[in-house]
Structure 1
């Protein structure tokens, strides 16, 4: 298995021996654009109109793309034909957490058409989450129309993943070490399964479809029940590190505090900006980010506001370091960090810029994640979709009824 989220393929070449590459290039452009005309595909790829016509026809024949007439005609003559990704191809997305397991079905066009969340016993074992995920996949599959075909399963892991074989190296809050989650879930579902770190997945999902779209230099932070992770996109490419474990921005030390994060490090961003503290503040258990957000935005007591402001200030201190180091165009905040941003974005940005090198911070924008609560569902689904896009004519798609617990 390889890391599932890649930058778009290079420009296609008008040669038959690279037809597969051209097919992949066109499918990527269609997915990233949402909808695109044949003439725009011709301009973007450098391929001639005849070749584009053949490639689009093949994608349609394989059920990966659809063509429709433009809603508004651009002038005289026939309306333009617009190409978009098929809604009849889906991938399952899985997000195991310490308190819940979430499974969704996402179409090739990026729509989340189903999502189920099941609360888990405290500190579930890998097998508990695997079985729960498999049962949810089977349940959703049974409810899907027979027209759907399945590309596979993507898993957003709150920890470090060896993507080559689907092994979770270390998920600190779950206390999972060297868990063969991918192979075991694949055996249960009889589907290909791909894993990656949740923040890495979220980073590229926001780059392709969310608030970071259109930017080439981005810092992304995601915070959930498993702690804080992140990613940096530099010149359009995500920094992964020599072994693929780069982006652990939550473990950067920002304080002399002796409070520890989930990996045992003191004074880090993850140690001081904690979802658990907010859940305890509002007496919530197993809450979704939407439920937590409602409590934060309607907070009534001064004591509760003080807790939230402290977390905002710690977050700003961490961001000031990342802005100084990476000089990004944009900072994107996902998970419950979106709630902190929405509570007082002015305070957050002012403190971040005050503690960053001035020239590095003068043009940066800070945004909440655009994909909202579906961020990790869309991101995880990109893992099998990436495999499909690399080989559109040869990748095996399963019938939705195939995804049953074995």
Structure 2
């Protein structure tokens, strides 16, 4: 899992001229990717490199087809306007997100722009082999007829995934254990595949392009059809744990004598607070979950809906309090149906109010900015990681879509 790049500071240089060149290319491409249209002058200022070096590196990135140099931006001051550099829209990553009710397959370009997404409805018995077969067919359909350079596939799994090889250890909602998902999808598509925990990837999207941009210490919680997950950034680094399983905030204990959880424990946040219960309360089908915000707002003061919202927020508040006390973040970001809950909270609700006073003094609780795109964009970041780390690597690794 790559480290979030919030500041755009120059990366440590290697020991040779080629190492230095590659580091400079990586720094510039990452800045353009995360920053959208940036002028040469702005890139020079942010990197601390001289104008000549920036010019040479940008020419190489243009030659590699990774950035585009557009018309100079209008300048309010004196001197010649500086050209604007934008990420190439033809360099893309494919994303796959299996859930208990559907597989979402997407196409995301450099710059975090979602080109297209397909939702494939599924039955309850969604095996890993079925995900591979249906995803491979959808990917072929997405790419056919497009002129694109495909860096690879990122897979967001609602479960514990070994980051080193994308092997799914446990995805309890899907009833998976020890599934070599990344390897099998790679064999089926001929593309490089990486996989990670879905919540971790949703967080990475928000750190790179959304509410967490520029925030070095945050806690992220997201709720979806397959439960609640989370992640933590501390000191600008994603906390992954020894094998990539850190951040299971959905399994925070919130209720004594509570409901049985898929993990085997009782009283976990994700067992007590569910998307399905909220959808049922406002009579929304699963495929319309993105309308939960408006449905909760429309329910207004309906006593049953209001009671469920208060119940869920009380338990979510316990999880937030524990996370704030443990990690002392500057921000808590809520995504998925948890964002809908928070945006429809009763007046006076403060999820951080029970945390230790010193821990909550600098705390902001907010909702994800990327909405339904956060998982696609964050999962694409996983697929783009190697390219961003070394743009000068063999471009033959990119597969042209046909």
Distance 1:122 1:70 in 2: 53
**Conservation of the 8 A alpha-carbon contact between 1:229 and 1:250:** yes
Quote the offset at 1:98 in angstroms. 0.7
Quote the offset at 1:118 in angstroms. 1.0
Partner of 2:315: 314
* C-alpha distance 213-383 of structure 1, shift in aligned 2 (>3 A): same
Could you say what secondary structure the match of 2:393 adopts?
Answer: coil
Quote the offset at 1:127 in angstroms. 1.2
* C-alpha distance 388-58 of structure 1, shift in aligned 2 (>3 A): same
Quote the offset at 1:170 in angstroms. 0.4
Partner of 1:360: 359
Provide Cα deviations, 1:33-77, integer angstroms capped at 9, x if missing partner: 222222222232232211111100000011101112344223233
Partner of 1:385: 384
Quote the offset at 1:377 in angstroms. 0.4
* C-alpha distance 10-53 of structure 1, shift in aligned 2 (>3 A): closer
Partner of 2:327: 326
Quote the offset at 1:163 in angstroms. 1.8
Partner of 1:73: 75
Partner of 2:344: 343
Partner of 1:113: 115
* C-alpha distance 38-269 of structure 1, shift in aligned 2 (>3 A): same
Quote the offset at 1:161 in angstroms. 0.5
**Conservation of the 8 A alpha-carbon contact between 2:4 and 2:236:** no
Distance 2:145 2:274 in 1: 37
Aligned residues: 395
Quote the offset at 1:246 in angstroms. 0.6
Quote the offset at 1:264 in angstroms. 2.2
- Report the TM-score when normalising by structure 2: 0.93
Partner of 2:399: 398
Provide Cα deviations, 1:305-341, integer angstroms capped at 9, x if missing partner: 2112211111112111111221211110011111001
* C-alpha distance 333-88 of structure 1, shift in aligned 2 (>3 A): same
* C-alpha distance 346-230 of structure 1, shift in aligned 2 (>3 A): farther
Distance 1:106 1:120 in 2: 23
Quote the offset at 1:378 in angstroms. 0.3
Distance 1:250 1:117 in 2: 24
**Conservation of the 8 A alpha-carbon contact between 1:66 and 1:86:** yes
Alignment of 1:56-95 (within 5 A): 56-95=58-97
**Conservation of the 8 A alpha-carbon contact between 1:101 and 1:133:** yes
Alignment of 1:173-252 (within 5 A): 173-252=173-252
Could you say what secondary structure the match of 2:174 adopts?
Answer: coil
1:374 aligns with 2:376: no
Provide Cα deviations, 1:338-357, integer angstroms capped at 9, x if missing partner: 100110174442xx333111
Could you say what secondary structure the match of 1:173 adopts?
Answer: helix
Q: 173-182 or 293-302: which moved more?
A: 293-302
**Conservation of the 8 A alpha-carbon contact between 1:4 and 1:384:** no
Could you say what secondary structure the match of 1:353 adopts?
Answer: coil
Alignment of 1:137-148 (within 5 A): 137-144=139-146, 146=147, 148=148
In the alignment, structure 2 segments of 5+ residues that lack a partner are: none
* C-alpha distance 55-324 of structure 1, shift in aligned 2 (>3 A): same
Quote the offset at 1:283 in angstroms. 4.0
- Report the TM-score when normalising by structure 1: 0.92
Could you say what secondary structure the match of 1:67 adopts?
Answer: strand
Distance 1:312 1:73 in 2: 49
* C-alpha distance 226-5 of structure 1, shift in aligned 2 (>3 A): farther
Partner of 1:404: none
Provide Cα deviations, 1:86-107, integer angstroms capped at 9, x if missing partner: 1111111110001100011001
**Conservation of the 8 A alpha-carbon contact between 1:316 and 1:348:** no
In the alignment, structure 1 segments of 5+ residues that lack a partner are: 402-406
Q: 122-131 or 154-163: which moved more?
A: 122-131
**Conservation of the 8 A alpha-carbon contact between 1:12 and 1:25:** no
Q: 116-125 or 134-143: which moved more?
A: 134-143
